[in-house]
């Protein structure tokens, strides 16, 4: 009984606080280690069928991750995401939602420094 009462309190206190620099770094590593970036991009910018995560609100992300843990997807391709949502512990899910809601939206300038060749057949 005591445990049941404590859980919502921990959950609430986690969501009320900002991530500490350590937690932020832990989530950044977890995002990379769990290969989240391979589908959603290093900055949560999204790729193909994997939605953009930047700009989503924390409560929306948390709800979506909880839904996905239960196998509720928005798209047919979304079933691929279920195991990744399940791989996060409930605590990591809360922290990840917070991390993603505040993910750095700035994309480094190098990303745009693509060299275009002047030669080419113009596509013909």
The torsion angles phi and psi of 98, rounded to 5 degrees, stand at -65, -45
Q: Residues 7, 12, 29, 74: which binds ligand HEC (CB under 6 A)?
A: 74
Shortest reach from residue 24's CB to ligand HEC, in Å: 14
Give the length of the chain: 124
What would the two tokens of residue 59 be?
A: 């409560």
Neighbours of 65 (CB within 10 A): 21
Using CB under 6 A, which residues numbered 84 to 123 contact ligand HEC?
A: 84, 88, 96
In the block, tokens 């700035």 appear at 106
What minimum distance in Å lies between the beta carbon of 22 and ligand HEC?
19
- For the bound state, the minimum distance from the C-beta of residue 38 to ligand HEC, rounded and expressed in Å, comes to 5
Q: 68 and 82 in contact (C-beta within 8 Å)? A: yes
- Selected from 80, 89, 91, 102, the binder of ligand HEC by CB under 6 A is 80
> In whole angstroms, what is the distance from residue 87 CA to residue 108 CA?
29
**What residue ranges bind ligand HEC (CB under 6 A)?**
34-36, 38-40, 49-51, 53, 61, 64-65, 73-75, 77-78, 80-81, 84, 88, 96
């Amino acid at each position: 009984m005591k445990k049941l009462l404590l859980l919502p309190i921990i959950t609430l206190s986690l969501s009320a606080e900002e991530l500490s620099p350590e937690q932020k770094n832990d989530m950044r590593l977890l995002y990379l280690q769990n290969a989240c970036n391979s589908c959603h991009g290093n900055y949560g910018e999204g790729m193909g069928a994997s939605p953009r995560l930047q700009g989503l609100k924390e409560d929306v992300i948390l709800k979506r991750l909880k839904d996905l843990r239960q196998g509720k997807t928005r798209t047919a391709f979304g079933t691929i995401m279920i195991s990744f949502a399940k791989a996060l512990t409930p605590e990591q899910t809360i922290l990840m939602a917070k991390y993603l809601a505040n993910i750095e939206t700035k994309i480094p300038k190098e990303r745009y420094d693509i060299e275009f060749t002047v030669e080419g057949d113009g596509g013909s």
